[in-house]
């Protein structure tokens, strides 16, 4: 048996062992996923979800620290194996979307993440040969709040050598580009007047917002195909018979290229706001209201390991070079080796829809919880059992080692 075959056999054996541990706790993981799904909470308000996850981990031997980085719904849970060794992290997300609940399936992410940690810890303890630290990062506010960026700024990830998570989707994919994103809020201020009696005395802030939206629509023709700009009117007046004196737009600006995002793209969008203000005689204020999300830098050795484990659990990951949305996991991936694979709950289903929210509580979603826990648990156990895998990931992250597909796992 050659080295590559031996590596794959080792991964298959480890996956089976992790899978057996996951199956034993599977009903509890599914119940946890359903409990979070049934009580959706918005960013930084995920008190029920955070408490349930901490209770699950604490009951299974993970010391838990609540309130990480000063965020009430963030937490850390750690286990040390042996002496020294690398630190690897698994991220849990658990916030929902306004109006449509868990239409991004964060209940699945959370349950799979804690299940992975518990299964990996049990296997590592039974083998008794690993050295290193396993950290579960409870990461709130992914939907627009940049919880991971806040954790990074507080130094919570210092010393972490590699990080993983898994996201539900309408496909199985190990590597998919994610866009960098700026979260802007544009406020126009005008002057109120009676809309019928004296409209000529007013300065219409809603007209300014409308002009900005039209300008963005025209701008799209001159943008790179991978760029995205989209907005909603968050405030547009209080009475039909009053010229709106204030309007407010929430705008997301995205690109896979950080320089282009902060350069030409951001400037052009902000110029749309300034031009609209000039045209309507209003004033405008532009604010960046949340941490920027960086593009995802998917680590090749970690992705190769994940691909092997996906196959071992009976999932054949495909490929999709088209950039998807944005995640604060992109910020993590810019400072340490990380991956953000996707696990299918319904083929072809699109995220951020009511159909996806319904599917996130289905039998297929339950399977994604246990398969996801097995995939991540195998990766965590492999990284701690064979620290050379972590070194490989670090070398590739530094750019000193090219990506080879498939790569040797040891």
pLDDT digits (tens, 9 = 90+) for 59-92: 999 999 999 999 999 999 999 999 999 999 999 9
pLDDT band at 58 (very low <50, low <70, confident <90, very high): very high
Condensed to tens digits (0 to 9), the pLDDT of residues 217-274 reads 999 999 999 999 999 999 999 999 999 999 999 999 999 999 999 999 999 999 999 9
pLDDT at 199 (0 to 100): 97
281 in the same domain as 335: no
pLDDT(404) > 70: no
- Report if residue 305 sits inside a domain: yes
Pick from 322, 171, 182: nearest CA to 264:
182
* Number of folded domains that form the chain: 2
- CA separation for the pair 262, 351 (Å, rounded): 27
Confidence grade of residue 410 (pLDDT, cut at 50, 70, 90) = very low
Assess if residue 373 is contained within a domain: yes
pTM recorded for the entire structure: 0.93
**For 145, left (φ over 0), alpha (ψ -120 to 50), or beta?**
alpha
Yes or no: say if 47 and 41 are a contact pair by the CB < 8 Å rule: yes
Task: Answer with the one of 261, 288, 315 that is the final residue of a domain.
Answer: 288
* Residue 319 sits in the same domain as residue 393: yes
Q: Is residue 51 part of a domain?
A: yes
pLDDT at 180: 97
Q: Which residue has the higher pLDDT, 30 or 5?
A: 30
pLDDT given at position 409: 32
Residues 279 and 188 in one domain: yes
CA 181 to chain centre: 12
Averaged over 91-117, what is the pLDDT? Answer: 98
pLDDT at 120: 98
Tens digit of each residue's pLDDT (9 = 90 or more) over 315-345: 999 987 677 799 999 999 999 999 999 999 9
For residue 178, what are its two tokens? 């994610």
168 phi and psi, to 5 degrees? Answer: -70, 155
* Share of residues in the chain with pLDDT > 90 (%): 92
Q: Give the dihedral of Cα atoms 152, 156, 159, 161; nearest 10 deg.
A: -60
**Domain end (from 288, 310, 342):** 288
Report the distance separating Cα 1 and Cα 6, nearest Å.
6
327: domain CATH number? 3.40.630.10
- Do residues 373 and 304 both lie within one domain? yes
Cα distance between residue 200 and residue 409, in whole Å: 72
User: Of 180, 170, 179, 163, whose CA–CA distance to 306 is shortest?
Assistant: 163
- Whether 281 and 367 map to the same domain: the answer is no
- Structural domain containing residue 228: 180-288
The pLDDT-based confidence of 3 (bands split at 50, 70, 90) is: confident
> In this predicted structure, which of 173-182, 186-195, 391-400 has the lowest mean pLDDT?
391-400
Q: Rounded to 5 degrees, what are φ and ψ at 28?
A: -70, -35
Structure-model confidence comparison of residues 170 and 128, the more confident one = 170
- DSSP 8-state class, residue 322: S
Average pLDDT of the chain to the nearest whole number: 94
> Has residue 403 got a pLDDT over 90?
no
**Residue 129: per-residue pLDDT:** 75
Residues 38 and 124 in one domain: yes
Nearest to 236 by CA among 248, 226, 254: 248
DSSP strand E in 5-105: where? 64-66, 75-81, 87-92
Whole-angstrom distance, CA of residue 281 vs CA of residue 75 = 48
- Do 205 and 272 lie in one domain? The reply is yes
Q: Determine the pLDDT at residue 398.
A: 67
pLDDT of 128 > 70? The answer is yes
**Cis check: omega of the bond before 96, within 30 degrees of 0:** no
User: Is 97 within a domain?
Assistant: yes
């Amino acid at each position: 048996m050659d080295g590559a075959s031996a590596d794959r056999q080792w991964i298959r054996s480890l996956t089976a062992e992790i899978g057996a541990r996951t199956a034993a706790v599977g009903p509890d993981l599914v119940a946890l996923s359903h409990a979070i799904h049934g009580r959706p909470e918005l960013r930084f308000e995920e008190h029920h979800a955070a408490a349930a996850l901490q209770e699950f981990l604490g009951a299974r031997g993970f010391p838990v620290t609540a309130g990480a980085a000063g965020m009430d719904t963030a937490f850390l849970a750690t286990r040390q194996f042996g002496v020294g060794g690398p630190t690897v992290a698994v991220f849990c997300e658990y916030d929902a979307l306004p109006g449509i609940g868990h239409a991004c399936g964060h209940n699945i992410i959370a349950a799979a993440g804690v299940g992975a940690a518990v299964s990996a810890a049990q296997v590592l303890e039974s083998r008794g040969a690993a050295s290193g630290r396993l950290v579960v990062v409870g990461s709130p506010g992914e939907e627009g709040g940049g919880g991971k960026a806040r954790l990074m700024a507080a130094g919570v990830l210092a010393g972490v050598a590699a990080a993983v998570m898994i996201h539900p989707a309408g496909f199985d994919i190990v590597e998919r580009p994610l866009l960098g994103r700026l979260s802007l809020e544009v406020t126009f201020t005008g002057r109120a007047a009676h809309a019928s009696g004296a409209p000529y005395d007013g300065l219409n802030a809603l007209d300014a917002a409308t002009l900005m939206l039209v300008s963005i629509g025209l701008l799209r023709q001159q943008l790179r195909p991978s760029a995205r700009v989209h907005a909603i009117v968050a405030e547009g007046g209080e009475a039909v018979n009053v010229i709106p004196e204030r309007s407010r737009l929430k705008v997301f600006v995205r690109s896979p290229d950080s320089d282009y995002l902060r350069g030409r793209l951001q400037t052009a969008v902000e110029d749309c706001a300034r031009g609209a203000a000039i045209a309507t005689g209003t004033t405008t204020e532009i604010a960046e209201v949340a941490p920027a999300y960086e593009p995802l830098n998917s680590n090749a050795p970690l992705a190769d390991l994940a691909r092997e484990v996906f196959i071992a659990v009976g999932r054949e990951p495909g490929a999709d070079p088209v950039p998807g949305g944005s995640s604060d996991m992109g910020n993590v991936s810019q400072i340490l080796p990380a991956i953000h694979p996707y696990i299918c709950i319904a083929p072809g289903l699109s995220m951020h829809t009511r159909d996806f929210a319904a599917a996130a509580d289905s039998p297929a979603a339950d399977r994604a919880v246990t398969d996801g826990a097995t995939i991540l648990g195998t990766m965590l156990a492999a990284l701690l059992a064979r620290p050379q895998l972590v070194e490989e990931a670090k070398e590739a992250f530094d750019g000193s080692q090219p990506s080879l597909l498939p790569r040797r796992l040891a």
